[in-house]
Structure 1
Amino acid sequence: MDNQLLYVMLVLYLGMTAFLGYLGFRHTKSAKDYMIAGGNVHPVLMALAYGATFISTSAIVGFGGVAAVYGMSLLWLTACNILVGIFIAFVFYGVKTRKLAHQLQVKTFPEFLGVRFESPFIRKFAAGVISLAMPLYAAAVMIGGARYMEEALSMSYTSAVLIFAVIVFAYVFFGGLRGVIYTDAMQAVIMIVGMIALAVLTYTSLGGITAAHTKLTALTHLVPPALAAKGHQGWAAMPALGSELWWFVTSTLILGVGIGVLAQPQLAVRFMTVASSKDIYKGLSVGALFILFIPGVAYTVGALSNVYFMEHADKLALAATAVGGAAPNIDKIIPLYITQAMPEWLKYLFLFTLLSAAMSTLSGQFHIISTSVSYDLNPSRSGSDKKTLLVARLGTLFGFAVTILLAFQLPLGVIAIATALFFGMCTSAFLPMYTAALYWPKVTPQGAVWSMVTASIVYSVVVLFMHEREAAIFGLCFKLFGVSTLAVAPWTYIDPLVITLPISSLVLVVVSVVTQPVQQVVTVK
């Protein structure tokens, strides 16, 4: 690579990031500024920040790699993201969340739930779940960016992780949510430009849109026997209905991530940053276009990378990552494709696209971890703004340290799995009570508590002892019982969310009905 050009682009990128982070620092004078950016952010900035926080290297690298293995079926996730993650999230959740949050004068998602149900326990339990589970998602995002830096810049994985983490940490630590939103908006623009360029060059190199998809369909006979036995029907088709891969794609990827976005605390807080409900409606089209361009392109290019590798290396994409005796790594498919198939200038642009994707999401993640630890779990949160800001920044240190540790400990090919895990946990624990908080006046604090706690426990048990992919990663089931899972098919591959979300919803309704306040009846004699 032309190091001189790379260094110039890097200086410009970091310079803009530092400047926007400094603007955030200059305008962060209170806890309200740090936690919800003062509540007066422009709707376009909010929508871009929402999209940039939602879509990360996890989507581009992790799920792009998954698309290379399982095919165009992941485009249904893009459709679900636009319908649920943007339209439903903005119109049916965002507007009411902003209105109620302003009425309750709250600054964080756990505080929103806690004050709405008048339950300090809900606030602290929600903050605890976020603080413990969010670093897993953050680590997945960090791994995605580091894998590309490792491949594109020929540096060690350790160096890539540390460089990534330090840059993000710096502007979240000082800028708060204002700094995060300013930089997110800049990074969203870079991401859109980078992904459009990637799509155009991919189709051009493969002979055009029609030719590229025809070639992909023609590879169907090369589906590995092990995948064919699980329902793989080619990279241009859905897996066989009811097969193991069908359940993985639909329940874990499309349902788990597609619906899971509604209960993401780092996204819900974005709705609290604008001044009116009209601003949320104004951001709809911007958010939808962002989702269409970023994950839509990533999943398409991921599937089409099989055509490139077959034409140039006579291997499918996943097999191409097994170089020099290394194990195949689904998380390295997109980085390898970019570095081998794209021109030099796009390698630079895509590097900054991934930096932007990772940093925008990581900044939101570190911010929500810091506010959960310092503000929602901190018993002295009623102190001065200066003290609250100090403790919040110390909370960022906590999230930073745990995320770094996980980035070095998690196994290969874990990005999509770790992302789905976090989305599934948040959906199971928070979505029923969050929805009820907005739409069901008769929900009781007891119903919300039992729903959240039951979902957290059941989801953890299913992940550790039933769902084969995650149970194998954690290894607790094997250590205790000598088997990888205690369940039998199809429950070994149906996503935990399919089990826990109905249970969580049912518990919420039943307990709320049972614990309805008794009305006093006055008898006139």
Structure 2
Amino acid sequence: MIIKVLLTVVFLIIMVGVGLYSRKQASSVDGFVLGGRSVGPWLTAFAFGTSYFSAVVFVGYAGQFGWKYGLSSTWIGVGNAVIGSLLAWLLLGRRTKLMTQHIESRTMPDFFGTRFDSQGLRVVASVIAFVFLIPYTAGVYKGISTLFEMGFNIPYEYCVVIMAMLTAVYVIIGGYKATAMNDFIQGIIMLFGIVAVIVAVLNAQGGLVAAVEKLSVLPSDADATVNGGFASWFGPDPWGLLGVVVLTSLGTMGLPQMVGKFYSITDESAIKRGTIISTAFAFVVAGGCYFLGGFGRLYDPVIAANGKIAFDSIVPAMLVQLSPALIALVVLLVLSASMSTLASLVLTSSSTMTLDLIYRDKKSLPGEVQDGEINAEVSEKVEHRKVVVMRVLIVFFIVISLMIALNPPTFIAQLMGISWGALAGAFLAPFMLGLYWRGVTTVSVWACFIWGVGLTVVNMLAGNPINPIDCGAIAMLGGFPVVWIVSLLSPKMNRNIVDKIFECYND
């Protein structure tokens, strides 16, 4: 216990220390939200990866999908690396950096408002982002607290509150630069931690070969006479597995807290290096998490009060027999993964609400000159006021998500499915197509917002007749034909406006 407490305390002191170190760069809006658009490839790549993978993956998804699909759940981690990281950087990295800098966009709702010449889109997008980032944040709290309960015997409620307060401290003090620097430190812990935990768990089962052999003799849930499904290449339910791969991989390209990382990177050469770093990180962390979860059936499941398996307790059950030093490492691993994701979520939510709802500055198009001159002193005061409001909203967002986390309505995986389904279902298609295709219309973006949020909410209110995971995947993929068809049928945007926006790709 002394080892666990000491390591955790040192870790938390470093996190807060980085926030204090970065506080000078967080005095302006660009500094607080984007780190001055001068964050290097290593920090950006690790910020992307650590925001991607949190306790939701390590505890919730690895446990639930490892139980359902066995070793084939490793494909989810491979999909996260190839689609969610490599493809995301290749398709979005350069174009997002250039266009958002060209139109002076700081948030995803701000992008929609300027790119499609509609302040209404900007407002609605900010509301969607704020509302549906909350269940994701609650899922992260739930995952991290489950591990803390196991490692320290601290009640769940105390864990949730402590983690929320500590994350808020370094984000409020240091903004995005502090978050990125802490993400790098946390990412290193995650890389070493996941490898060490996998080795320890496999050794406890007699090694890799012995563990796979044990899985191969387990009967299928659907047919007790069929063995070997959980040790096969594509598992007992390949189509269900594909839905999870789509949701957890494609979704990153439509999430505000993920895409925002491309806004802040220094230049195009940094994007190339960041692509490689981020992909390698995802292979190790995501692949390792799901590979580990694939052996969950070798351990006795915890049965919840309703008689069903408590999926969120599967990974903790696998780890409870480890040595104290390894449990301390696991706690730091999950703490690192979760605090980085929490920091990204609360920063994204507060900046979106501040810049896109409270202070909706009218912006000129690239190349246009605004009327009049703004007094430098007045401008500085306004910038300072915006940063203060963002810091206040960070506290507000954390309090709301805490209320949900203290009484979570469902499993972690379902919380994330609802959040990712609505956000990426609404944002993915219009954002990606808006970077490449001049023909995307304002009406088509509205249609996709209605499609993504509407499908998710209706499914949820109807009692989830479609599994939230599958519903999220359908929402994301369905957004592309929605935007394409509606764009062909609706009035085109002003050609001059679109040409000015796409000038950023001419050089």
- Normalising by the residue count of structure 2, what TM-score does the alignment of the two structures yield? 0.88
Q: 1:86 to 1:504 in 2, by over 3 A?
A: closer
SS across alignment from 1:495 = helix
Name the counterpart of 2:60.
62
Where does 1:389-468 land on structure 2 (aligned, <5 Å)?
389-411=387-409, 414-465=411-462
1:64-463 paired onto structure 2 within 5 Å: 64-70=62-68, 71-218=70-217, 220-221=218-219, 223-224=220-221, 227-228=222-223, 234-237=229-232, 238-240=234-236, 245-251=237-243, 253-307=244-298, 309=299, 315=300, 318=301, 321-322=302-303, 328-340=309-321, 342-379=322-359, 384-411=382-409, 414-463=411-460
Take 1:37 and 1:297, find their aligned partners in 2: how far apart are those partners?
Answer: 31
Task: Give yes or no for contact 1:192–1:293 (8 Å, CA) kept in 2.
Answer: yes
- Which amino acid counterpart does residue 516 of structure 1 have in structure 2? K
For residues 334 and 78 of structure 1, do their structure 2 counterparts lie closer, same or farther at Cα, with a shift above 3 Å needed?
A: same
| Matches of 1:197 and 1:503, distance apart in 2 | 40
Provide, for residues 60-114 of structure 1, a one-character-per-residue CA deviation record: whole Å limited to 9, x for no partner. Answer: 0111211341112221111111111111111111110001111111111111221
Separation of aligned partners in 2, 1:200 and 1:19: 32
The answer for unaligned runs of 5 or more in structure 2 is 363-378, 497-507
1:35 to 25, 33, 36: 33
Rounded Cα–Cα distance in structure 1 between residues aligned with 2:131 and 2:227: 35
My pick for the range that moved more, 73-82 or 131-140, is: 73-82
Query: Which amino acid is 1:457 matched to?
Result: G
Residue number in structure 2 paired with 1:507: 482
Cα distance in 1 between the residues matched to 2:43 and 2:400: 29
Instruction: Identify if the C-alpha distance between structure 1 residues 326 and 21 changes in structure 2 by more than 3 Å, giving closer, same or farther.
Output: farther
**Displacement of 1:228 after TM fit?**
3.9
Cα distance in 1, alignment partners of residues 358 and 27 from structure 2: 20
Report the alpha carbon displacement of residue 409 of structure 1 after superposing the two structures with TM.
2.1
Q: Distance in 1 between matches of 2:471 and 2:293?
A: 26
Contact 1:34/1:175, CA 8 A, preserved across alignment: yes
Secondary structure of the residue that 1:118 maps to in structure 2?
Answer: coil
**1:155 Cα deviation after fit:** 1.4
Question: Shift of residue 415 of structure 1?
Answer: 0.7
Measure, in 1, the Cα distance between the counterparts of 2:315 and 2:354. Answer: 37
Q: Is the 8 A contact 1:217 1:236 kept in 2?
A: yes
Q: Which AA in structure 1 matches 2:426?
A: A
Shift in Å at residue 291 of structure 1? 1.0
In structure 1, what residue type is equivalent to 2:18?
L
Code of the aligned partner of 2:388: L
Structure 1 portions without partners, runs of 5+: 310-314, 466-470, 473-484, 486-490, 521-525
List, as ranges, runs of 4+ consecutive aligned residues in structure 1 with deviation greater than 4 Å.
Answer: 323-327, 380-383, 491-494, 517-520
Distance, in Å, in 2 between the alignment partners of 1:210 and 1:343 is 22
Q: Residues 380 and 301 of structure 1: is their aligned pair in 2 closer, same or farther, counting only changes over 3 Å? A: closer
* CA separation of 1:518 and 1:425: change in aligned 2, threshold 3 A: closer
- The correspondence for 1:19, drawn from 17, 22, 35, is 17
Cα shift readout 1:269-291 (whole Å, capped 9, x = no counterpart): 10111111111110122212211
Give the share of equivalent positions with the same residue, in percent.
Answer: 24
Offset at residue 187 of structure 1 (A): 0.5
Q: How many residues align?
A: 474
Q: What are the Cα deviations for residues 425-470 of structure 1, in whole angstroms up to 9, with x where unaligned?
A: 12210111011211101112222222222332233213322xxxxx
Tell me the SS of whatever aligns to 2:294: helix
Q: Secondary structure at the match of 1:377?
A: helix
